[in-house]
A and B are shown apart, each in its own frame.
Chain A
Amino acid sequence: AAGVIQSPRHLIKEKRETATLKCYPIPRHDTVYWYQQGPGQDPQFLISFYEKMQSDKGSIPDRFSAQQFSDYHSELNMSSLELGDSALYFCASSFYSNEQFFGPGTRLTVL
């Protein structure tokens, strides 16, 4: 079965640089969620989109923005990167029900 696809899988950036993470949800899934998981921590909700509209917002810094496109893929844009942004970033998708399926994640390292 098709799963959530995320790219890139690994990303290394310098402080103050910009990063873009991409997420391709499971086909026919209409909702995309972004989570951040720091080392030894649980995943923290950042933002979600339902049918290409922002549906909820969590503890997402103002330096981050996201959108969902007409083909339902989503991008998380991160600017002015800080050392504390180093984490695993997961995208999850769902359809109608609340069962969210997670992608493999993007490991972001900020140097």
Chain B
Amino acid sequence: QKEVEQNSGPLSVPEGAIASLNCTYSDRGSQSFFWYRQYSGKSPELIMFIYSNGDKEDGRFTAQLNKASQYVSLLIRDSQPSDSATYLCAVSPQGNEKLTFGTGTRLTIIP
């Protein structure tokens, strides 16, 4: 079992709808949680980070963290074709430490 699990998809969402991406992790000591977006052949781009239980909103993106359930999610509102990419969930034990990535969810926004 991987330390960080994601549904590999592909996940298809109509343009303008809400895309919901999920991630679970196995290490209860994990303290920092990140969502990266990666276009094919490009580098991971940091979208959101969350450290505390609850919701964190930034523009069209909302990250949700539930440490008791070891669950992190990312919601993308008003999905745009440019949101089509692979979304990587990453987890870190504490500050300034290595990231452990999930295998990523491929998201396709359908015009």
Contact = CB atoms under 8 A, between A and B. Distances in A.
A46 to B, nearest CB: 9
Interface in B32-91: 32, 34, 36, 41-46, 49, 88
A100 B102 CA distance: 16
Interface string B1-41: 00000000000000000000000000000001010100001
Interface string A37-48: 000011111001
Interface stretch (A63-71, A73-81, A91-99): A91-99
A31 interface: yes
B44 A90 contact: yes
Contacts of A72: none
B72 to A, nearest CB: 15
A105 B100 contact: no
B46 A99 contact: yes
Given A42-B88, A98-B92, A105 B43 contact: yes
A27 interface: no
Contacts of B49: 98-99
A102 interface: yes
A24 interface: no
B44 A50 contact: no
Given A88-B41, A98-B92, 5 more contacts: A41-B103, A42-B88, A43-B99, A102-B43, A102-B45
9 contacts: A50-B96, A90-B44, A98-B92, A98-B94, A99-B49, A100-B34, A102-B44, A103-B43, A107-B41
